[in-house]
Amino acid sequence: MRYRTLGKDLRVSVVGFGCMGISHAYGKPLEKKEGIRLIQQAADIGYTFFDTAESYGTAENPHANEELVGAALKPYRNQVMIATKFGISFDTSSTEVNHPIIPDSRPEVIFSSVEGSLKRLGTDHIDLYYQHRVDPNIPIEEVAGVMSKLIQQGKITHWGLSEATEDIIRRAHKVCPVTAIQNRYSMMARWHEELFPVLEELGIGFVAFSPLANGLLSARYDLSSSFDPTYDYRSMMPQFQAESLKKNETLLSLLQEMSRAKNVTPAQISLAWMIGKKPYLVPIPGTRNPKRMLENLKASEVILSDQEIKELDQALDQMEMSEVFGGSRIENRS
């Protein structure tokens, strides 16, 4: 197993396990027993970094994912790092399948969130606590101050920011050192590459979410794939629409060609590409399928040369591709 260090000292498996899709955004939630088994399988095969959030769940059970992660990882607690997030809820009254996000990082809300997360996760500390989305109404310095207090109290050991910009990262880091950011990053979503120099300067890790562009980069989806419009965000994601198929042909053919040449899979090439780029980058793909879970972990054994990565980047820069899902709409807190 290969490991990486995020920030100063958070040691995690080079591929982490994104637990969100078990309860949220990728179809009807799995049965509790099945979800627990899946997470334990991930720990058994060597994942040591698990990603969840207080907001991953459904209208009926909004915190379902943390409950699952807590129950599953109880016997593994000393050998794994658990990351969770605070600071958003979903507007479940909306008819959109991808419910709008309502940010809320008021200090009193964070202090109450952390207690809820600790309880559901069945642990006395959170290894990495992210602000899920920046709250435009609360200065980031105030949030960082709350993080300092939680670290002093031993309730969290590290903190991070999700979908943060350079300005926010710098301001937050000044008040309380940031261990990692967690931003969207894949061959179809490369806009955060501009943060690499800032992260290098400040010694902050990059956790890449949706690293397979929500599955598309596995090249296992086509016109016959259908997604439940009640629960599955992929039903509205631009990259899975019929008209995107043609636009993504070049990208998927390139991945298929390269994976055949190396006797690996397109998903593994996608993950190996980002792992090979930066030593502080950790992708956290999610899957409900144990075989794919192993496939994704094994991507850490696929080594691409600097030249191969550069050529892939050049090809990506030039090729046509469809739009990719960029996140749910953000609403104001009323």
Ligand X SMILES: NC(=O)c1ccc[n+]([C@@H]2O[C@H](COP(=O)([O-])OP(=O)(O)OC[C@H]3O[C@@H](n4cnc5c(N)ncnc54)[C@H](OP(=O)(O)O)[C@@H]3O)[C@@H](O)[C@H]2O)c1
Smallest gap from residue 174 Cβ to ligand X (A): 23
Smallest gap from residue 49 Cβ to ligand X (A): 10
When the beta carbons of 105 and 162 are compared against ligand X, the nearer one is 162
Q: Does 144 bind ligand X (CB under 6 A)?
A: no
Q: Does 214 bind ligand X (CB under 6 A)?
A: yes
| Beta-strand relationship, 159-162 and 88-90 | unpaired
Q: Does 102 bind ligand X (CB under 6 A)?
A: no
Q: Which long-range contacts (CB under 8 A, 24 or more apart) does 111-114 make?
A: 111/146, 113/54, 113/86, 113/87, 114/86, 114/150, 114/155, 114/156
Q: Does 267 bind ligand X (CB under 6 A)?
A: yes
d(CA 255, CA 312): 9
For 127, the token pair is 């290894």
Clarify whether 56 is annotated catalytic.
yes
Q: Does 160 bind ligand X (CB under 6 A)?
A: no
d(CA 158, CA 178): 7
3-state secondary structure of 49: strand
d(CA 237, CA 114): 31
Smallest gap from residue 270 Cβ to ligand X (A): 9
When the beta carbons of 35 and 154 are compared against ligand X, the nearer one is 35
CA–centroid distance for 245 within its chain = 25
What is the contact mask toward ligand X in residues 295 to 334, using x (rule: CB under 6 A)? xx--------------------------------------
Q: Does 131 bind ligand X (CB under 6 A)?
A: no
Q: Which stretch binds ligand X (CB under 6 A): 38-46, 121-129, 205-213, 251-259?
A: 205-213
User: Could you give the residue numbers annotated as active site?
Assistant: 56
In the complex, the residues that contact ligand X under the rule CB under 6 A are 18-21, 26, 51, 132, 162-163, 182, 209-215, 218, 220, 267, 284-289, 292, 295-296
